[in-house]
Amino acid sequence: MFDVADGDPAFDVLINNGMASDTEFIIDIAIKEHGEVLFQGVSSLIDVAGGFGAAAHAISKAFPHVRCSVLDLAHVVDKAPGDTDVKYIAGDMFESIPPANVIFLKECVKILKNCKKAIPPREKGGKVVIIDIVVGVGGMVINGTERDENQWKKIFFQAGFSDYKITPVLGFRSIIELYP
């Protein structure tokens, strides 16, 4: 899908707008219902593959004390809005993640090991926040890539995290907090 978007500017805009709409919808709910707990004591946040920063903007607006940054590919960062308090960083999430108190992920698990390296210990506020689908036992989803809690747990521990917390937000969507 992203390969097609790279070659078709109109499709690229459509994909980015769709992803931003989905992010804005879920992040508003997450902030209203769980924001005080999620961002208590947090001073910096990196939104990994955050596109134009829909989540980072919402978090920054709700919690002005949190320095929000977006890490994405150079061609995405080049098109990012310039009149904002969100910092944009061009980079490859598979190579490295800049350091921050909180690493914010949406539907991504391949980079958890790099995220763990980028955050401070739990006692210093380090955690990774993921918003993704956690299906119940026997849950069925069309594309089959969504995971139940046991599958997530296995991934978290393989990536070297010592603890996690899953908070249901909307339907199957949950806020997942990972602790080093």
- Can you spell out the DSSP letters for 65-123? TSEEEEEE-HHHHTTS-SSSSSEEEE--TTT-----SEEEEES--TTHHHHHHHSPPGG
- pLDDT of 9 reads 72
pLDDT-derived band at 26 (thresholds 50, 70, 90) equals confident
What SS3 class is residue 44?
Answer: strand
- pLDDT of 20 reads 62
- pLDDT of 91 reads 95
* pLDDT tens digits, one per residue of 59-100: 999 999 999 999 999 988 998 988 899 999 999 988 899 999
Contacts of 38 (CB under 8 A, 6+ apart): 30, 31, 129, 175, 177
- pLDDT of 143 reads 47
* pLDDT tens digits, one per residue of 102-151: 888 765 556 788 889 899 999 999 999 988 788 873 344 444 457 788 88
Single-letter residue type at 4: V
In order of 50, 55, 64, the CA distances from 19 in angstroms are: 9, 11, 24
What SS3 class is residue 169?
Answer: strand
The structure tokens listed for 22 are 């989905």
Average pLDDT, the chain: 82
Q: How remote is the C-alpha of 121 from its chain's centroid?
A: 19
- pLDDT of 165 reads 93
Q: How remote is the C-alpha of 55 from its chain's centroid?
A: 8
- pLDDT of 162 reads 93
Cα(119)–Cα(63) distance, integer angstroms = 19
Q: How would CATH label the architecture of 2-179?
A: 3-Layer(aba) Sandwich (3.40)
* Strands 147-148 vs 163-170: parallel, antiparallel or unpaired: unpaired
pTM equals: 0.64
